[in-house]
Structure formats: structure tokens, C-alpha cells
Structure 1
């Protein structure tokens, strides 16, 4: 809560008249992972605004912890917080810590008071393009997130001489997430679903500003030689339970010949993307020293030869391949090899990466 202007000057701004705006320091270049600094307002001996059975310091910590968890679970990003517990942290400690860490962006989370209603957000009085971009990305997405869980008034994007905006050396935005002393707003702030929606909106805005992409949907499937409708092989392929290294009930084997006669594993690929292809086979000194495995990629067939005399009873990687979407014979084991010994076809695993 930054409350009315006079309270804000006393508690968070140090915006004394006549103080010239500090020049912006050079923005840190993005590291391998962008660094997001989250600042839950108040804490410890400073409860912030208190009304309707709520304390600002508890609400801001709840929201900020959820923002951190969402970011860490979904993006390649480093997150640091000014506090993760009910601790007393001065304004100078917050900005000094963010500056020393070399944060890419700074986001301060607050709850408003003063008898109004709705959501508003702030950047510094004079801001560069990166700060304006962060402000726009955050404001629109936080508001959208909130509105999935309740009716919220948009109080607009604003500027102010707040300490955390003025003294940070990176793009910085402060959000005021409803009014704790307005009953209708307080009722929303008492809703766990609303707080989660607010956190998600912050995370969405941060990700949009930084150009972060969520990891692809997870996908991994195993096709065994006994999987109904997913394995085909000619009568030249026998069935064996000889080796205890088999995957499942049995495995298939065939003599090498100078003809393909492949055993095929049919895989339903959900989207054109990169996939790791692993195979499982039993191993024996009498098996093939160079068993051809054919992977049907988006750019054409690729063949990988495996020595099946060793390494059995475990998943072995053929590599990572770009596979086209569709339900088709994606991995085959061919008999076309000059190496002596049985060629083995047992199971394949395809995993999106």
C-alpha cells in the first residue's frame, strides 16, 4: 500500500521536493537466464495497510511467492526476492540488493488503501523504453488475470517518485492490487483463487516483457512389440522370451539379410517438434554387432546402427530428431546388415525435448 500521497512520501518515496531524478544506470545485459527481482511490499514490523481483517504484508508475500513459483516452474529464469518470510527489510536494502544482484527487472507488489477501488500500477517519473514496455506488459496482463476471478476497475498506468522505482538500476514497476479498506476489494483479496489469478497475471506480464517461452507440452510414449496395432513385422521375425533383459513379455528377432524387411513401431506424434528416440533390446554375444534402426524424420529417413551384443536391458538413445506430426511408422529395425547375429526389435520410446 502506498496510500494517499502524503503517506506515500513518508513511508516509501523519500521524494523530497527539489531532489533531481537520478540518472538511469546502464541496463544489465540478459544473462543466460534473465534475473527477475520480486519485492513483496512491507513485512516484519511494517504491516503496511491493515483493514477488513487483512494485512498488506501478508497479501503481498502470498502473491509474490506464487509469482516466483509460476516463473520457476514454467520458464528458464532466475528469481530473487527481497523477502520470502515476514521479515523487516528497508527500502534501501531492497534496491541495493536488486542492484548488486544485477537484476534484469524489478517488480514491487503492493495493496492499496485510501477508499478507492481497483488496480493501478506505477513506473518512475522519467522512464526509458524498456521500463515503459515492462509497465505496459504487466499492467494489461495483471488486470486480465484479476478479471478471470472478479470484477476489477482499471485505474490506469501512472508515474511516481517512489524509492524502489527511482533507486533501482533496471526497469522497475510497482503494482497496487486493489484497496484493502474497500469491502468489495477486500472480499476479492480474501479469495485464494483471486490471489492466484493476480500472481498468474504478474507472471504472464513478466514473461511477455522478457520474451520468455513456456516449455513445450510434455510428451513421452512407449511402443512395445506387443502393443496392439502399433507393431508390424513379417513372418520372418520370430518371437522369443530367451533373455531376461527383454522389455515386457517377449521380443522379436530375425536373421540378417541384404533386404530391408523392417519391423516397424507406429507412434502417434502430437506436433512437429524435436524428439529423443530411445530403443530397448536384449543383448547377447550372438546378436547383431550393427543393427540398423531407421527413424522417419520430417526431413527424411535417418539410420542409426546399434551393437546389440552389449548394452541390453536398458533404454539406449538413437539421438534427437525432428519428427512430423501424425500417426505413422516412425521407428523401424531393419534386417539389412552384413553383420552376423540376430537383429532384435523389442520396444521404442519417443520423448519430446
Structure 2
């Protein structure tokens, strides 16, 4: 699949290419988290800005790499496959080069340089367990890799696309929640067909890509593509996700906590984590640490506060390990610069054969 990098945006105008995102930027990202393909005219009223301004603002955010909308197979599509977090230890001097190399793997949803018990943390998804086995074995054969540890996801309590910036008022959120786009986005879906996959990859890099552009590429009538896209997205077989350069949005630290919870309390503990504002992702996993959470924080000091809240809400929980992200190299298919801006895309492909 073709990879491409967004063009540089000018350093002046509505959105600085490397500056802190302002209130309208954050509100727009929040709105697109709720309704990723909503027309600008539909977003104008709740955001209190005209459609032309929103269109121009989004173009600058997108082109500067400050924000983006991606599309990928819904977690339900790996029900008969596997999703895992893989800790990777490597030769110290090869760390950055290895991270960049692994970020090119279509099975690797995310790649992080981390501080903790390993050097890199990968989030990987495959359509079958045999593909996951092959991926882990191939990973261990890479010359610079010294050790790996795989944590298979048993249940995903919260996926990152469900997390919100929380930059909108309750009235604005209520207005957006009433849109057809937002209300149908989380429906469960059947298995993706071969035709679905072609369409999925056509919008993988830009989830707001116009139907006319997709139709031209696929050489299909616009009406057919519009119907297929609505079925794909509203049927829950694919996920649209609006994301932003976290450092520019004020989220300065990311950490993964590995916890142990009595099995009888695992479901309740996962649900409780989902109610916490800073929880970006939560999953039950098959390892000594049977519950993990990915948290986004305004500063590293907030990690202790988060752990204190977890202990108060779920007293039986023990934190066994922590990894703090030093740098996101890839997040859900997007290749990221040091400051978190998108520099390109390697679409997630859970069906890709292991090299």
C-alpha cells in the first residue's frame, strides 16, 4: 500500500503548523471524534462558526499533521484472530532504527519508544491466530531484537476511538450526538467482505475523503460508493477515528499500566477504568498482569494521581508494571514526528501475510 506524507502548512493563519492548538481547533477535533464525516454545514451550528471557516481550519490542521481522521477495521473483525501488546527489548544502539522499521509493518497498529521494562511497545492485530504466531516468531528473529513478551488481548473494554477531547459544552455534545453520523458509529457489524476491504483501504489515510474521489479511484458510481461506505461505517465493520498531535493538544505524557485483578472482579474493574477521564484504552489480557490501561496525562505528575484513583475505585487492583511513552513512532497507522504531528500513514492491515 502506498504511503504518503502530508504537505507542510504555512506558519501563519488560523492554525500555526507547530504551535499549541487553540480552543476552536480542539472543539473541531472533539466534534469530529463524535461525527467524523459530518458535513461542515452540520457542524457549523453546534460549534458557532460558519462552514467555510471550519473547512479552512480543518484543511490547515490536516495538512500540518496536527490532526487527522483515519479508518480501520473494527475490533470485532479480529474476533477470530488476535490483538496483542508486545514488549520488545533490543540492542540499545538499534532502538530508534528498529522502531522506525517496525512502524512500517501493516500489522503493527502502534509503535512506542518507552521507559520501563522494555525498549519498545507494539500494539499488533491480525485476522487469525496463526498470523499472530507468525508475526511474533518473525519479530524474535530480527537480529537487533533481544527479547519479546506478548500479552494477548482477551477483551477490549475501551478502544481509543471512544476517547474524547472533552472540549465541547454539554449542549454542543448533545447537538452532535443527535446527528445520524454519531448515533450509528458504534453499531456491531458482520465480517468484512473483500469488497469492504477495498473500500476500507481507500479511506484508511483520510477518513473524510470525498465520495467522488473514492468513486473515481475505484471506478464505481458515486451512488454505489456512498451506499457501500454508509453500510461499512454504520454497520460497525470499520472505525473512523479523529486524532490530534497530543503534545500540541496539551497531553504531555502517555503511560501504560499493567495491573493484576482477581478474575471475578475483572469485568467490573475494566468497566470502572472506562469511567475515568484519562483512560484512553483498557483491555483484559492473558498474562500475569490481566488488566491494562493506556492513560493520557497533562503531565507525568498526574500518573500518581491516576493510580490513586484506580486504587480507590478498585481496591483489589495491584499495579505490577508501568511503561511511560518517550515517543510515539506510530499510532493507529499514522507515522508521527517527535512532536506528535502526522508525517504519513501505513494503513492497518490485519490480513497482511507475515514477511
Give the alignment's TM-score, normalised by structure 2. Answer: 0.23
**Which protein has the bigger helix share?**
2
Larger-gyration structure (1/2): 1
Q: Name the structure, 1 or 2, with higher relative contact order (CA <8 Å, separation 6+).
A: 2
